[in-house]
Structure 1
Amino acid sequence: MRRVRRCTALGGATMLALVCSGAGLPPHLLPGGARSPGTPVTADANPPGTGDSALLASVGFLGAPRHGQARAVAEARAAYAERLEKAEARRVAAAKRWGLRRVPLRAPAPPEKKPKLTTEPGHISGAGLPPVIVSVPTDKKVVFLTIDDGSEKDPRMLEMLRELDVPYSSFLADYVARDDYGYFRKAHRYGSAIQNHSVNHREMPKLTYAQQRTEICRQQDTLEKEIGERPEMFRPPYGAYDRDTLRAAASCGVRVVPLWAEEAFPDRIAYGRADRKFHPGDIILTHFRGKEEWDGDMIGMLRRVLNTVTEQGFAIARLEDYV
């Protein structure tokens, strides 16, 4: 089938989307399509099955004369463009509603091939052990938001990140999450990946190998039961681990042990480098905490993170798309 080569430039308050013949419609923008959990909306997304043939199938024109097919493609792309503009308008309104200084930047499309991960210098490594990382190797100006524990379950946080279309990963400890896994199932439906932070949040090197394995594997089983997916990442409480931790994690199906480069609070960001700036691929840590533990709340923390990330020219991407 001959492709239509014309591109349409779409002006918006915060973006310029180029809708060209090679950039098919993402599933959530196709008629009847559904968005996969945690998949960000991007103008250049081109997932399998969303090229011209999928467009034609979605509007019922397969087998039609070529001029009819071309018209169907043009109409579908026009609808796609309109949905992009409406989605961005909603993000502009959401940024104002949540008190952000600017609309968060959109992350670029994830890499077709995930980068090779190697253990951060100074950390434990070895054959058969999952890599320990504080950042992801990439030259894209993206960082990754991760939220630990699960004691504070603020519904406003879920709404804020959903309305702004900001991806994040939740690392849950059972002892504080178990009273309401329904909250985290909702977070997962809204797009959060769910990962492992142990059962009881104990300092791993103080435990035997068998005890560490129980802490990790039991939480793997719990999250698979409660969320429906078995995690592939484990973050040790306090960032403390030893070789037995990595051995136990690997035996439980863990592929990666992500630590962090920065930690976010409502009143500050603690940087791991002297330049006090984000670097491409940095992992940001924060927590499900409220006013009982912080001088502030999760909305204030997110506002600080999003404002700072945006002002430094970065976008928040989905960690699971890169590791």
Structure 2
Amino acid sequence: MKRRRPGTESCGQGWTRRGRGHLRRGPGYAVLAALLVAAAGSGCAAETGGSAPADPVRVAAARAGQPGGPPAAGAAGSVAAQAEKARRAQAARAVAAKKWGLAGTPLAPPAPPAVKPHLTTRKGFEVEGGDASLPPVFTTVPTDKKIVFLTMDDGDDKDPELLKMMSELNIPYSAFLSDYLVRDDYAYFKEAQVRGVVLGNHTLNHRYLPGLSHDEQTREICDQQDIIEQQYGERPRLFRPPYGNYNGDTLRIAKSCGITAVPLWAAEAFPDRMEWREEDQDLHPGDIILTHFRGKKDWKGSMPDMIRNVMKVITDKGYAVARLEDYV
């Protein structure tokens, strides 16, 4: 999967441009019941933000230290307490996996490293006149752990089921946003941010950057930096150029307005298939997986369908999904 020009690449135009699960009583329900008993008396109604009935999966996940709730009580820092917290979190994830129709329970990632790995530009992805001062461009993060990173681009489809699904499964992902697709509903991505999603820069209008002048590239990249900071309170560190295409100006401009790294991708996920950059058509430790905020009008499935497909591939191969920003 090489970098290609518009019309032959994904990330906005190439391959295609552009249900709610039900909790059933079964083997996993006993696990959920145990988690809910453990959570009794701890103010579960707060999980729903009012008087509406609490979603049992979200409550259980919250009480197990998942997004949406306080960490489990106990002797913080003790090995036993941390082990119990991890056990409860994985039990909640197993219940959520059944609710959302996953083929298996996603594996838990290891603790992030105390020191982030040193990143360099992938061989063959250098720019003329570039040096180590420019943001590195890479498709895989250096690690020996069986982890991969999930990233979503553009921002066209804004499926509320995706937000709930990813929170209940406790699967981290990073979003790279293009303003022309996001501006009609900034609040959707604010909710994603509240749930732990880090928002990155994917330019204002998703244009082919090497074909633009220096000033035009500056507007596409740096103005998007300003908008994300204004809307979400944080200036992105990570930038993904549309179609994976860039030149020396792109990287120098990105650096000038706060970008420190340019993660591309090693594989791309769709609801019905995977597409691979490497010849072995497989995952590797530290690989970055690309997908898009798209739905049934563009794809053979919904965003939750895509997650079910990509998580089956990841889990079957023995990998866990880690948080990209913990490593980059």
TM-score band by shorter chain is 0.7 to 0.9
**After superposition, what is the alpha-carbon deviation per residue over 1:56-95, rounded to whole angstroms, capped at 9, x for unaligned?**
xxxxxxxxxxxxxxxxx99xx4xx6665444333211110
The partner residue of 1:145 within 147, 150, 169 is 150
Letter in 2 for 1:107: P
Task: Tell me what 1:287 maps to.
Answer: 292
Q: Cα 1:316–1:197, aligned 2, differ >3 Å: closer, same or farther?
A: same
Task: Tell me what 2:250 maps to.
Answer: 245
Consecutive aligned runs of 4 or more in structure 1 exceeding 6 Å deviation: 33-38
Whole-angstrom CA distance in 2 between matches of 1:166 and 1:131: 26
Are the equivalent residues in 2 in contact too, given 1:290–1:296 (CA < 8 A)?
yes
Letter in 1 for 2:303: M
Letter in 2 for 1:101: A
Alignment of 1:261-300 (within 5 A): 261-300=266-305
Q: Taking every aligned residue pair, what percent have the same amino acid on both sides?
A: 56
- Give the TM-score, by structure 1 length: 0.76
- Give the TM-score, by structure 2 length: 0.75
Tell me how far 1:109 sits from its aligned partner: 0.4
Whole-angstrom CA distance in 2 between matches of 1:36 and 1:189: 13
The partner residue of 2:225 within 215, 220, 223 is 220
CA RMSD of aligned residues (A): 2.7
Are the equivalent residues in 1 in contact too, given 2:64–2:92 (CA < 8 A)?
no
Tell me how far 1:128 sits from its aligned partner: 2.4
Whole-angstrom CA distance in 2 between matches of 1:34 and 1:244: 46
> In terms of Rg, which structure is larger?
1
Q: Which has the higher contact order (CA 8 A, sep 6+)?
A: 2
Are the equivalent residues in 1 in contact too, given 2:203–2:242 (CA < 8 A)?
yes
Task: Tell me what 2:44 maps to.
Answer: none
**After superposition, what is the alpha-carbon deviation per residue over 1:177-216, rounded to whole angstroms, capped at 9, x for unaligned?**
1111100010011111100000010000010111111111
SS at match of 1:137: coil
Letter in 2 for 1:238: Y
Alignment of 1:1-323 (within 5 A): 50-51=76-77, 77=81, 84-124=86-126, 125-323=130-328
Q: Cα 1:122–1:255, aligned 2, differ >3 Å: closer, same or farther?
A: same
Letter in 1 for 2:313: T
SS at match of 1:185: helix
Unmatched tracts of structure 2, length 5 or more: 1-29, 32-62
Q: Cα 1:119–1:37, aligned 2, differ >3 Å: closer, same or farther?
A: farther
Q: Cα 1:34–1:85, aligned 2, differ >3 Å: closer, same or farther?
A: closer
Letter in 1 for 2:104: R
